Structure 1
Amino acid sequence: MNAVEIEEAISALSQQRFDAMEFPFAFLLAFGNKATTIKMLRKGARNKSDLGGVLQTNKIHLKVCAEGEVTNSLAELKASPATTKAKAKFVLATDGRDLEAEDLTTGETIACTYTDFPDHFGFLLPLAGISTVKQIRESTFDIKATGRLNRLYVELLKDNPEWGTAARRHDMNHFMARLIFCFFAEDTDIFTTPDQFTGTIERMSEKDSSNTHEVISELFRAMNTKADNRTAAGIARWANVFPYVNGGLFSGSTDVPSFSKIARSYLIHIGSLDWTKINPDIFGSMIQAVADDEERGALGMHYTSVPNILKVLNPLFLDDLREKLEEAGDNPRKLLNLRSRMAKIRVFDPACGSGNFLVIAYKEMRSIEAEINELRGETDRRTEIPITNFRGIELRDFPAEIARLALIIAEYQCDVTYRGQKEALAEFLPLDAKNWITCGNALRLDWLSICPPTGTGVKHRAEDLFMSPLDQAQIDFENEGGETYICGNPPYVGATTKAPKGASKETVERLKKEAERRKADLESVFRGRIKTWKSLDYVCGWFMKAADYGKIEKAAAAFVSTNSVCQGEQVFRFWPSTIKEGVRINFAVTSFSWKNLAARNAGVTVCIVGLSTQPGTAKLFDGKEGTVREVENINAYLVPYDNVYVENQTKPMQGLQPVVNGSKPADGGGLIFDADVAHTLRQEAKGYDDVVRPFFGAHDATHGVGRYCIWASRQQYECLKQLPSFQERFEIVSAMREKSTKELTKAGAHQPFAFQQVRQRGDEIVFQIPRHSSEERDFFPIVNLPRGSIVGDGGFSFFDPPLWNISILISRLALSWIAAVCGKIKTDYRFSNTLGWNTLPLPKLTEKNKADLTRCAEGILLAREAHFPATIADLYDPEKMPADLRAAHDRNDEVLERIYIGRRFRNDTERLEKLFELYTKMTTQMAKQ
């Protein structure tokens, strides 16, 4: 269940007659528990409550108590030994009149009347595996409104299927935007009386809903007609009390979809909500899912936290404004200059979605302006910050409309907060007809036409705000001497994308078309500039266009991006063409998790990169620790060093032994098998014991999993294929390869005994290096395998290596280099032989250095052996790592790092600075040879 479904279930439960016996089970059902789980709890098999309540292990202990005993019962639940033993995260008590609950992890509590507990459902969402951000816990209105609007939307499309077609989808989305405005307006005195919109529909439309669409259409027509023209237009008397709104919101067609009785009921219920509680920065991103078939399953999850957005906006420009405010003190002239400066600042989000970044930026700037006005004794002064300075581009029309609406609502709410309700109302209507959100493809549009160079204006005017053609900005607006700040959260799409397993034919086709469009978009930005543009992440297009914009206009930019753009091959392919001609990284936030509302949506690991053409020091923020450093330069790896680009090398540059990819089976499961099959094959092939070898895939060696494989020559195959068990496995391989669409794989069908790619002889001493490793580990978990083991292509192989090579590879210093230049999967380490190992900078080693490192490697391997049969995963768990093994690694790091600088490095940043310095020297010397 998603958050919206849970809220609806809880609301329905609170409105039913309270049943003391049934409440605990109905409550748990509402939070997504399966019927079988409820059945087991009813029988008592899983209910371990010692207080006559219901106790669900790892989740909640709840109890229905006698009237007036709620507080005492909650204390008993909290003190209960059963609560502790079951590791319950919540306790809850109710008597049907009052309800109290406590989060035992955080100590937070709620206390309310029973009928009001749906207003606190966000507090209890962890029971459904959904962790919530603070703003959602404090206000559940946005999820509630999203859910109700979604039900209305689906119901209307059921009776008006043509409104769901591509031809009419815009009309449907525009209709929903109009409704949202009306619900907000009737609860905030923008309309003259409370409940004016909903009440009029309820009174004037038939209960059978036959004329509901006509009533709403007439109201829309009234709101688009000036008072002087209403008599001539024949506006109905009952609609004439509505104000003239215009601004494009109600212009154009006033068609309304037909309403069923259910849809009419939904609309009236939505109107009964308290729309004064709307948060435009939250609501906008949630409501966009209503009109998106692909996203509707995640209703209520589309919320990006304000703190995350401020990680972009604060260092981009808000911190500077606040510093200037503090410097101004109570100096009237300095305060006036700052206010005048703010009036000319433009915030531009070329991937704006429903406007989160723009709304937050607007609200933060209004807050600063309000402080200025208070210090100058002008608290009732009208704002000088126009919402037309908050511009965006959005590919889809509904989020674009919601972005405009969210900014309109934010402007009104700020006016009420800082100037008062009367002043806000006096200047709110009619809405301005300017268009400042563009619906279009950001990578195809000219950003200078949407945010033109300061001092010039786009002279084409829109007839209205919402219904105008949206392929370009349409503002006649002078902004002499202003600043432009580009920001946002562009789409997270890699160079290649695949349809999820089991996806429908329609989904596969849609994803294919989207991939083709994205490819064409990137080509339009990069062709003729970067040869390898096809391998770039989609977000690179935004960075390049922002850099181009900054070379012409006084602007700075910052985007949230998957951290892959600052790691691995993306760096040397993309950034040299971007960081040039005065463009530099002026701030960055290193990798952190960018999460929406739900913990089950694990979030995307991202970084934030800021670009500017202005000189000065740069700020580097640690995404995990939250610390910040001022540095001379930040390179594309987000390291405080010169702009260096590490490129793939086919062999080690510094005399180390090569690391090679593992061997690829491409076998359909025929060549790889478990111990039981291995035993059968060995029994059948007496005298051929060496053809059944230990096999280690991506995680096998690290986690102590043993598998086996057939590793045979052509001569051995001719004998083995006569044996039934072997013949069966060879047939599996042949069948799989014959069906393959890849020519290389298909060609291997005639050699079913052989791996598709063979990279070892099979009799070497081999160390396996996993392709990926958890970021939680302090060392890369290299595994020494039995002689003759076969390493699969999920890892890399080190054959008969000198042990001093192992010492270097397993060091903290090598790990920091791999983390920086090889790229990551989320935040987990990803190893690359050509990019990480072959480029690892190494000082010239003496024979004594090698001997010392060899002893260190031996010490690590002996420490491992002492803890047999513990797996590598166990040994390198940072919480469980044996003290002697950690000490052996510390000795290894001590010896190696003294070779580099004569002492231990203080941290990874210092390690990387030294490594980049050596890399620069190493590549410079190679270039001279």
Structure 2
Amino acid sequence: MNIRERKKAAEEFYNRWANRGNERQDSQSFWLDLLQNVYGIENPVEYISFEDSIQNMMDKTSFIDGYIEKTKVLIEQKGRDRDLNKGIRQSDGSYLTPFQQALRYSASLPYSKRPRWIITCNFKEFYIYDMEKPNSEPAVVKLENLKNEYYRLEMLVEKTNIQIEKETKVSIKAGELIGKIYDELLKQYKEPENPDTLKSINQLCVRLVFCFYAEDAGLFGKKGILYDYLSEFSARHFRNAIIDLFEVLNTKEDERDPYLDETLARFPYVNGDLFKDTDIEIPQFNERLRELILDNASSGFDWSEISPTIFGAVFESTLNPELRRDGGMHYTSIENIHKVIDPLFLDDLKNELNEIKQYKQPATIRRRAKEFQKKLGSLKFLDPAAGSGNFLTETYLALRKLENEAIKLYMEDNVRLDVENLIQVKLNQFYGIEINDFAVSVAKTALWIAESQMFEETQSIIYANMEFLPLESYTNIVQGNSLEMNWNNVIDKRELDYIIGNPPFVGARLMSEKQTNELKDVFGKLNGVGNLDYVVGWYGKAAQFINQSNIKCAFVSTNSITQGQQVPILWKYLMEEYNIVINFAYRTFNWNSEAIDKAAVHCVIIGFSQVENRDKKIYVSKEQVELANNINGYLLDAPNVFIENRRSAISKVPEMVFGSMPNDGGNLILTPEEKDELIKNYPQSKQVIKRFVGSREYINGIERYCLWIEPKDLNLISNINPIMERIKKVKEHRLNSKRKNTQELAKKPYAFGEIRQPNTHYLIVPRVSSENRRYIPIGYLDKNVIASDAVLIIPNASKYHFAILSSNVHMSWMRTVAGRLKSDYRYSASIVYNNFPWIQLTEEQKEKLTKTADNILKARELYPEMSLADLYNELIMPPELRKAHQDNDRLVMRIYGMDVRITKESDAVEKLFKMYNEMTKNIS
């Protein structure tokens, strides 16, 4: 709706409700009518909830009149005869005003659902309370004045998500159409594999997309002008028609051939360097291409409805051979982009605009709105891994929407506006670095489309015609390797406000040599760089760039940079060398690529700077947000502790070591069938065959065996040919190694390469275990079961050691500090076990722990047919085992001084970090 339509809708709403207002009968109809007919919510029944039940502190059930979760608005509705400033008697005998009543409800809600706004209403007036300023006077809007003050209630509406789903579908469809055109075009080129050909076809497709959009958006003037022009040409002459069109779009009207064909002459000058390059190779067009362009692209599809944020990325992946081989289209969802930009700056800007709307004097509102618009026009953004520009595009759209809201506030029906200088948010505020030249072209085009769409919105607000074309040349997105560039050459850091983006995801072990060298160049002589993911290069560059500035940053990253050995390497460097603080963070969540054949990547989002936010936030999930005093490198509200590799434990506990490593090329390992065959033919071989267990075998109950040969057995095996053959292959395998130590092992080819098998029963801890298990299934094995190096073992471990290691206290520590293999837990002695702070146990505590340990082991024995994988599957975990673990958890928590009723996992880890700090003060 434009301003006139909104005012008319508000006036009609007032006329409908001027003399109505029964609290019981009319409340829901009143709010549904307001949301749908004044504020444009298509399905208000799904948008607002009524009568949500809550439990108050006295354990009594109350009901919230209305709650809008998307905008965090709580509504307390009263009848027409109620004074909103007077107290009303409650069931407990107290007198509360409607606002005080709403505050009581708010206090009973989870933090993530507590309202940003409270509105009390009696059908005649709205009292609007800003909970960022809980002691301030409310803004009051009378129903009769809603026509002129509708904007004060716009916090009811979540504008960010309007039409996103529709735009997404249209954008994907557009990508599919361009994909068909691309495939058919490529067949026409004489050298389709030539890199120059690929550059030409990509540039050609960018130009076609802009033309399709410009026609449907009205930028070319008359609707259908492109179709009318191209339809006059047969396939044989289509190429020349396209070339002529591009030339005209790149030529100013006063510089064109005066005898130019009239149809061509009607096209405007576009500029922006989009059509400047005349050297791109354009092939001949066949009938299929002509049909695709005319019927599917031009006349049969409305390009003006695409989302430039999504389409830019879809377009890039459509025309990128590598991404197409991966299975189709990739894009970052708008929702995920807002996880970065909302807490970084957009939430604050929205709040600032909403606060302006609550001022009572119209002159003050107009003045502050103009100041706010000027501020929007001064902000500058950099995406140093810009890709197809989706983060920059969505940020531009978000700022322009806020700007349009500000314009509405100072524009009156008959006011004269400086139309030429009205729009202050410009594309030249947005900077990017991208290594792929084609992605740079796509990013620029996406931003031009975004600019055009917002231009139309502004025109609809002010009822004036403004000229959009020609485009301004846009050179702020540059091609280059971000990790090798000086960012100051792109933008002076003194002018920059925010750095945003989604840098490349490449694991530490998957980087190319060039990428590894790039990280070394960024971090200099920092030890352990080879253990860092590629994405940290952007953290390092950003920290160096923003040094001694107020610039704030937020990146999407692989979650492994907040786990295991990467934390003490990366975050210690950033926090101690550059005084970096984390101001907000999203803990691990799935970041879907939206490819057809997609694999979920486990990501975090981290907002950081040298400037410390007053309110730090940890987004635990979509629904749960926690306030934090300090966010450390593990994304916990805890001190800046760095859990580093440690060779020995900080507590007096038995040593944890790897199991034995064969280093045999697989020749000392036997399947059950091979074992049976060997014993059948050589019964004496049974003496040197033992059960062999790694993490997978132990957890899933898989049988595997090994040849465990000691010097005393050499005479026995000398006459067993199959074993001797295997030993011979072991020797060859070791001699062929490039490692000198392995070659030395060839002298004893009958034995494992590294032997650490204990002479007593031992505790086994799988090195890798599924993240879906609440507990890593650890246990005891007999000394005759050989543990592989895929597990960790603790010889001489007591039952009370088992109890603590199996507890939720230790598991919460493990989940925080352990590394990951994909998303699975990767337990290590040097990081997890050796750094875990053990309590000094009394004999009585050891006794109690031994009992809870026995109960866990006995509960497992009740189900001999189930593997540990089944026993620890959260969906089918036997009740006896669950209870045994819960009893053990409660005991360990009490021993560690944790209140069982209220301690969350993050609280437990925070306490453990404090213990760790205390215990390691005097340890070098």
1:606 match: secondary structure: strand
1:494 aligns with 2:507: yes
Note the alpha carbon deviations across 1:14-71, whole angstroms, 9 max, x for none: xxxxxxxxxxxxxxxxxxxxxxxxxxxxxxxxxxxxxxxxxxxxxxxxxxxxxxxxxx
CA distance in 2, matches of 1:383, 1:519: 45
CA distance in 1, matches of 2:163, 2:676: 57
**Aligned pairs for 1:79-118 within 5 A:** none
Aligned to 1:244: 269
CA distance in 1, matches of 2:167, 2:701: 47
1:386 aligns with 2:414: no
Distance 1:259 1:293, change over 3 A: same
CA distance in 2, matches of 1:221, 1:422: 34
1:321 aligns with 2:349: yes
Aligned to 2:690: 693
Structure 2 counterpart of 1:253, one-letter code: T
1:398 aligns with 2:419: no
1:669 aligns with 2:703: no
User: Is this contact kept in 1: 2:381–2:500, CA < 8 A?
Assistant: yes
Structure 1 counterpart of 2:392, one-letter code: L
Shift of 1:491: 0.3
1:338 aligns with 2:372: yes
Among 894, 913, 920, the residue aligned to 1:916: 913
Shift of 1:750: 5.2
User: Is this contact kept in 1: 2:508–2:530, CA < 8 A?
Assistant: yes
Note the alpha carbon deviations across 1:221-261, whole angstroms, 9 max, x for none: 111111111127x7555422211111101113254421241
Aligned to 1:55: none
Aligned to 1:591: 588
Aligned to 1:63: none
Shift of 1:567: 0.9
Distance 1:616 1:227, change over 3 A: closer
**Aligned pairs for 1:341-352 within 5 A:** 341-352=375-386
Among 803, 807, 831, the residue aligned to 1:835: 831
Aligned to 1:760: 757
**Aligned pairs for 1:257-656 within 5 A:** 257-261=282-286, 262-268=288-294, 269-272=296-299, 273-298=301-326, 300-328=328-356, 329-330=358-359, 331-377=365-411, 382-420=422-460, 426-454=466-494, 484-497=497-510, 515-528=512-525, 530-580=526-576, 581-598=578-595, 600-624=597-621, 626-656=623-653
Give the % identical residues. 34
Aligned to 1:215: 241
Among 189, 203, 209, the residue aligned to 2:232: 203
Aligned CA-pair RMSD: 2.6
Structure 2 counterpart of 1:270, one-letter code: A
CA distance in 2, matches of 1:902, 1:628: 23
Aligned to 1:777: 773
Note the alpha carbon deviations across 1:295-338, whole angstroms, 9 max, x for none: 11345431221111111111100111112122222433333322
Deviates more, 1:685-694 or 1:426-435: 685-694
Distance 1:600 1:766, change over 3 A: farther
CA distance in 2, matches of 1:226, 1:810: 75
User: Is this contact kept in 1: 2:312–2:446, CA < 8 A?
Assistant: yes
Shift of 1:280: 1.0
Distance 1:369 1:188, change over 3 A: same
Q: Structure 2 unaligned segments of length 5 or more: list them.
A: 1-161, 360-364
Structure 2 counterpart of 1:755, one-letter code: F
User: Is this contact kept in 1: 2:803–2:850, CA < 8 A?
Assistant: yes
CA distance in 2, matches of 1:750, 1:416: 80
User: Is this contact kept in 2: 1:354–1:399, CA < 8 A?
Assistant: yes
CA distance in 1, matches of 2:324, 2:764: 44
CA distance in 1, matches of 2:412, 2:918: 61
Aligned to 1:118: none
User: Is this contact kept in 2: 1:280–1:410, CA < 8 A?
Assistant: yes
CA distance in 2, matches of 1:621, 1:393: 29
**Aligned pairs for 1:183-202 within 5 A:** 183-202=212-231
Q: Structure 1 unaligned segments of length 5 or more: list them.
A: 1-132, 456-482, 498-513
Deviates more, 1:444-453 or 1:808-817: 444-453
Distance 1:794 1:315, change over 3 A: same
1:427 match: secondary structure: coil
Deviates more, 1:214-223 or 1:794-803: 794-803
Shift of 1:406: 0.5
Shift of 1:647: 0.8
1:787 aligns with 2:765: no
Structure 2 counterpart of 1:279, one-letter code: S
CA distance in 2, matches of 1:637, 1:721: 55
1:140 match: secondary structure: helix
Q: TM-score when scaled to structure 2? A: 0.77
Distance 1:861 1:424, change over 3 A: farther
Aligned to 2:195: 166
Shift of 1:732: 4.7
Shift of 1:734: 4.3
Shift of 1:926: 2.3
Shift of 1:867: 2.3
CA distance in 2, matches of 1:598, 1:247: 31
Distance 1:736 1:238, change over 3 A: farther
Aligned to 1:152: 181
CA distance in 2, matches of 1:222, 1:721: 89
Structure 2 counterpart of 1:351, one-letter code: A
User: Is this contact kept in 2: 1:549–1:555, CA < 8 A?
Assistant: no
Aligned to 2:881: 885
Distance 1:422 1:176, change over 3 A: farther
Q: TM-score when scaled to structure 1? A: 0.76
User: Is this contact kept in 2: 1:212–1:259, CA < 8 A?
Assistant: yes
CA distance in 2, matches of 1:425, 1:872: 71
CA distance in 1, matches of 2:677, 2:847: 45
Give aligned pairs, total: 746
